[in-house]
Amino acid sequence: MTAAQNIIGPKIKAIRRDKGLTQSDLAARCQLLGWDIGENGITKIETQIRCVVDAELLCLAQALHVFPQELLPDPSVMKKTLKQHYAKRDGS
């Protein structure tokens, strides 16, 4: 299994489901905001296969009607994720 490509995928999936949206619905909302992404792209983001750049993060937040910081995991999860990421990168 490869390393996760983003830390926001699980949060996007949870928020999308809480709002009763399908991946197709979310993709359509993003398209209305000018981002050419389809259901497959949303799937890849939610399953942490695809990276997300800052402009895409802002688009996802707007499409989900949340603040961008709401897409980030809890601080304890972020700390653990960062520690693991830099340990792997530095060869520790």
* DSSP structure string for 57-87: HHHHHHHHTS-GGGGSPPHHHHHHHHHHHHH
Per-residue pLDDT, 19: 99
pLDDT confidence of residue 84 = 80
- Give the pLDDT of residue 92: 60
Residues of the chain with confidence (pLDDT) below 50: 1
Whole-Å CA distances, 17 to 12, 40, 79, 86: 8, 16, 25, 31
User: Is the Cβ–Cβ distance between 27 and 35 less than 8 Å?
Assistant: no
Domain parsing of the chain, residue ranges = 9-89
| DSSP 8-state secondary structure symbol assigned to residue 8 | S
pLDDT score for 1: 44
Fold of the domain built from segment(s) 9-89: 434 Repressor (Amino-terminal Domain) (1.10.260)
Output the pLDDT for position 37: 99
